[in-house]
Amino acid sequence: MTDKKVRVRFAPSPTGGLHLGGVRTVLFNYLFAKKHHGDFVLRIEDTDQTRYVEGAEQYILDCLKWCGLHPDESPVEGGPFAPYRQSERKCIYREYAERLVMQGHAYYAFDTAEELDKNRKEIPNFQYGQVYRETLRNSISLPQHEVDALLDAHTPHVIRIKMPADETVSFNDMIRGHVSFETNQVDDKVLLKADGMPTYHLAVVVDDYLMKISHAFRGEEWLPSAPVHLLLWEYLGWKAEMPQWAHLPLILKPDGHGKLSKRDGARLGFPVYAMTWFDAKTGELTPGFRELGFLPEAFLNLLATLGWNDGTDQEIFTLDELIEKFSIERVSKAGAKFDFEKAKWFNAEWIKRSEVGSLKPAVSKVLADKGIVVTDDEKLETVINLVKDRCVVLPDFYQQAGYFFEQPKEYDLNAVKPKWTDAKTDFFNALTELLSTGGDIEAHDLETKFKALAEEKTLKVGDVMLPFRIMLVGGKFGPHVFDIAALLGKEETIRRIEKALEAFSAPAP
């Protein structure tokens, strides 16, 4: 349409944690910007002082950082259109609202919240608009001198847009195509609140204009107020510069109905926030994908494919691939139910495909949190390579890798004790004997010797293999036993056999 520079923005209000849908909106904005060599702006929409939550802005910043979605302009980075916090831009909105009043596209309204509540309760389908406007207290219904008097007396008032009669407002949504509304059906939204702050409706239009935003992507919940925004762009005389709109489909609850909310996470047992969010006011802790052990790459990947695909069968994408292949037109129209099972699959897939080097810091941390300090870097790498195919989330590395660095704390006794015999004790004593006289363990060699010894003792290999595993790792899991033994080394393997033998052959309590 125009060759103007692509500039997009993510404009959250700092009221709490960042939800899946929010991060996906960031992602789509970011991908679009990077694909078109444009700018990605972070603007904080903190115009509602009553809902402002301490720490929420920092949290949003941290989320973007964790995801690797860095804004080109933001409240902390600054930029040519600073400030990027709407509360700090308060003084600029009034001028535009007053201009609209001058032009007759907006008006002062003096009704109190109580009066309006009463109307909403008593009048079915009450709307502050076409039908009731004249009956309420505003600069359209009241004589000029009365309005002046009220204004002079500093009577609390708001400025509302005056929706025109009998017009059709329509636009072309990049995802949905042609969308249209009848102006008679939409109400006279408040533009400027009594405290002088703009509402979202005014602020978004003014700031998108001032910040030269070229494409505006937001959740589908904004679609009904789009006509207000469109009219504002027109009335303010900026129609030619209006961004292209795209309303993203919502992320829905996996089971019941409605859009996904923070409560669903607790109810269904999965995170809905990107990172854990602690609400200082309520003391409530809402878990996040990061803390649950998701890789940011996997998190982004699963979000990207929730409502978007490139038309091929590819499902695993790196950020660079997403940037290359993304197209807003290929975003689906319908809402998507969130599926945690598939989310976990993405993460497992990413862990499998990740290089040891990139996994190492995270795994070290998982182990350290459990009190295991790894000093042998080389061993850690070997271990990670050995077990990463069996981990779905990062904390799984504790179960899968922990026993390489510390003795099993407990044994799966049910798996061995009932079938334990003196012959087995004998076998393992012979094994330690054999081990201690030989050199260091080599996996293949040990396997051969182990099998030969079993035969010699007339035991089935299978009957001593599982106990051996449980001696070394504590449970029925992990890679090949002989690989484990080799990595553990001769001394440690012997130690573990001896220790376990006591537990296995002890009489049942």
Partner RNA sequence: GGCCCGUUCGUCUAGGGGUUAGGACGUUAGAUUUUCAUUCUAGAAACAGGGGUUCGAUUCCCCUACGGGCUACCA
Active-site residues, by number, are: 262
Q: How far is the CB of 507 from RNA (least distance, A)?
A: 25
Say whether 329 sits in a helix, a strand or coil.
Answer: helix
**Which residues pair with residue 42 across a beta bridge?**
10
Q: Cα-atom radius of gyration of the chain, to the nearest Å?
A: 32
Kind and range of the H or E element at 277?
strand 277-279
Please say which residue, 128 or 428, places its beta carbon nearer to RNA.
128
Q: How far is the CB of 223 from RNA (least distance, A)?
A: 5
Phi, psi of 8 (to 5 degrees): -120, 165
Q: How far is the CB of 61 from RNA (least distance, A)?
A: 16
Q: How far is the CB of 429 from RNA (least distance, A)?
A: 20
Please say which residue, 208 or 220, places its beta carbon nearer to RNA.
220
Please say which residue, 296 or 467, places its beta carbon nearer to RNA.
467
HEC letters along 224-273 = HHHHHHHHHHHHCCCHHHCCEEEEECCEECCCCCCECCHHHHHHHCCCCE
Classify residue 104 as left (phi > 0), alpha (psi -120 to 50) or beta: left
Distance, in Å, from the CA atom of 469 to the CA atom of 457, rounded to the nearest integer, reads 19
HEC letters along 153-214 = CCCCCEEEECCCCCCEEEEEECCCEEEEEEHHHCCCCEEECCCCCECHHHHHHHHHHHCCCC
Tokens of 188: 């006279």
Q: How far is the CB of 190 from RNA (least distance, A)?
A: 4
Q: How far is the CB of 315 from RNA (least distance, A)?
A: 5
What distance separates the 2 farthest-apart alpha carbons in the chain?
111
Say whether 15 sits in a helix, a strand or coil.
Answer: coil
Please say which residue, 240 or 386, places its beta carbon nearer to RNA.
386
The answer to whether the beta carbons of residues 83 and 75 sit under 8 Å apart is yes
Distance, in Å, from the CA atom of 319 to the CA atom of 301, rounded to the nearest integer, reads 8
Which residue has 């290359």 as its token pair? 324
Distance, in Å, from the CA atom of 246 to the CA atom of 380, rounded to the nearest integer, reads 47
Please say which residue, 227 or 287, places its beta carbon nearer to RNA.
227
Please say which residue, 7 or 160, places its beta carbon nearer to RNA.
160
| 401: Cα within 13 Å, side-chain hemisphere | 32
Please say which residue, 67 or 306, places its beta carbon nearer to RNA.
306
Q: How far is the CB of 476 from RNA (least distance, A)?
A: 3
